[in-house]
Structure 1
Amino acid sequence: MIALAAALTDRPVVLDGGLGTLLESRGNDVTSALWSARVLRDDPDEVRAAHAEFVAAGAEVVITASYQLGFGGDIPDAEVETLLRRSVSVARDAGDVVVAASVGPLGALRADGSEYTGAYGLSLDDLRAAHRRRLHVLAETGADVLAVETIPSPLEVEALALELADVDVPAFVSLSGDSSGFAAPGSRARALQLVASVPGVIAVGVNCCAPASVGAALAEAPGIPLVAYPNTGETWDAATRTWHGGAAALADDAPAWVAAGARLVGGCCRSTPADIAAIAAAIR
C-alpha cells in the first residue's frame, strides 16, 4: 500500500469510481435512502467485490460505502456504528490499497437532494454536532484517510474544518462542485482555502459535478495537492432518484486536471471500472 500523503507530492494517485453505480450494475437495489449502505448492511460480500473491481481497474484508493450513514436518523445508532466500522473492514479486504472512509454531507443522510444545495436550515453548531460522532468513529476504524466529500456550502465546510481539527487521521476534503451553496462570488475559493489550512488535511478539491466544472474549481484552490473526481456529466433528479442525459469520457479531461494540480483523480456517480482504467492509463 502506498503512503498517500507522500505519494501526492510526487505523482497523481488514482481514486475509484461510482460505488453505487457499480453495485447497481451488479444487480443490487440502491434505490432506498441508504443507497450503497443498504447493500453494505444486507450483502457486504457484494460491496467487497465491487471494491475489488475498482482495484483491478487500477484504483489505488477505495472510498467506503459510508457516505449515507450517520447518527440520529432512521437506523439505530448502534447499527450505524457497526456499519461504519464494517464499511472500512470490507474495503480493506479489496486489496493492497489506501482505504478512504467516506464522510458525506448532512444532505446525503437526508437523501433529499440537499447535498447539492446545503440548504438545511441549521446553525454552525448544529452542523458540527451532526458530523462529530461519525468522524470520530471512522477515525477509530483504522482507515488510512477520511474522504470528506460532496460538501455543498461554506457553512458546512466551516463546521467540518472545526471538527477535523480534533481528529487524528489525515483527510481530503472535496466540495460539491456544482452546488448552488457556492453561488456567491468567491465563496468556493474561500471554503477551499479554509479547509486547506486545517492540520491533517492533505488535499482539497471537488467531486460530484460535471467534468466541465472541474477546471474552474481547481483554479480557485490553494497550493496543496488537489482532488478531482466528477460524475460523468449526467443530471440527478432527486425527486425521482434517476439520472438523465449523456455520459462524458472522464479520461479525456484527466490529464488537464493533473496539469492543474490534481493529485487524487477518479470518478464519482455513474463512473465505472472502465472509466477508472481509462483514467489510470491517461495520467500515468
Structure 2
Amino acid sequence: MKRKKIIRKLKNKYRFIIYNDSTLLETFSLRLSLFNTYVIVVGGAILLIILGILLMNYTPLKRIMPNSEYQIKSKLVSNAIIIDSLQNTLKANEKHYQRILYILNGQDSLLKNPNDTIKPGNTDLTKSKGEINYVKSSEDSILRLAVEAENQFNVTYGKSLQKESLFNLYLYSPVHNGVVIASYQQSSAHRFGVDIAAQENTHVMATAEGTVISANWTLESGYSIMIQHSNNLISSYSHNAQLLKNIGDYVDRGEAIAVIGNTGERGDGVYLHFELWHNGQSLDPQDFISF
C-alpha cells in the first residue's frame, strides 16, 4: 500500500502558473509531476557535471587545476632546464680544475682539446722542499743575467708575460652550446674577435665579473655591451637583440647581460660577436675559453 501511494504521488500532476501582477492574466504555465521534476533536476545536474569536465580538460581552464597535466609538464621542463644548467656548470668547473692542475705542473694552463683529461700520475705535488736540490752554478748565474738583460728590451717577451698572467683567470663562455663560425684574425680590421652562433633568444653571459662601461646601439654593431674586468681586461659583446644591463652595473661571471640577436649592418644571422682586449691589445678568445 505504501509503495502504491508513493508511486501515485510521484505521478500526480501539478501545474506551475505565472500570472501578470497587473492584469492577472496567465503568462506562462507548466504541467509537471514529482517524477518529471526529479528527472529534470537529475538530468540537469549530470549535464552540468559533463560540461564542467569538458571545460576543464579541453580549454585553458585546466591550467588552474592543481596537479594538472599542464602544471606537471611545466615542472618537468623547469627541472630539465635546471639539470642542464647544473651539468654545464659542472663541466665548466671540471675544466677550471684541470687548468689549475696544469698550472701547478708548469704546463700550458689551457687545454687544447676540451675532452682532454689529466692523468692522476702527472699530478704528484707531494714532494717536500727537502727533496729538492737548490744548486746554482756560476754558469747558470751568468746565463740568467744575460737573459734578463735581453728581456728588458724584448717587447714580445713582455706581451707573452701579460698573456700568461691571463691564463690564471677563469673566463666563462658567453654563450651556452654556441658554435664558433668565424675565428679571430688579427690581420683583419673587422675580425678582432670570434663569431658564435646559437639559437634565437639565447642569453649572453658575462665572461667574468666586472663593471659595465658601455651599453648602447650603433648602426654598425647593433646593440653592444662592454665590461671592464680585473687585470685591465675588457670584453665586448655585439649584435645583440636586447641588452639586460646598463652602464655602471656590476655583473658576476656567468650572469645574463644580453639576448643574442641579429642587429647592426654587419649582422648576418643570429650570432654573437665576442672580443677580448688587454691593455689595448686584442686577444684571441679561443686561447682562453673552451667554447
TM-score bracket for this pair, using the shorter chain length: under 0.3
TM-score, normalisation: structure 1: 0.23
Structure (1 or 2) with the greater helix fraction: 1
Structure (1 or 2) with the greater strand fraction: 2
| More RCO (CA 8 Å, sep 6+) | 1
**Quick check: which has more Rg, 1 or 2?**
2
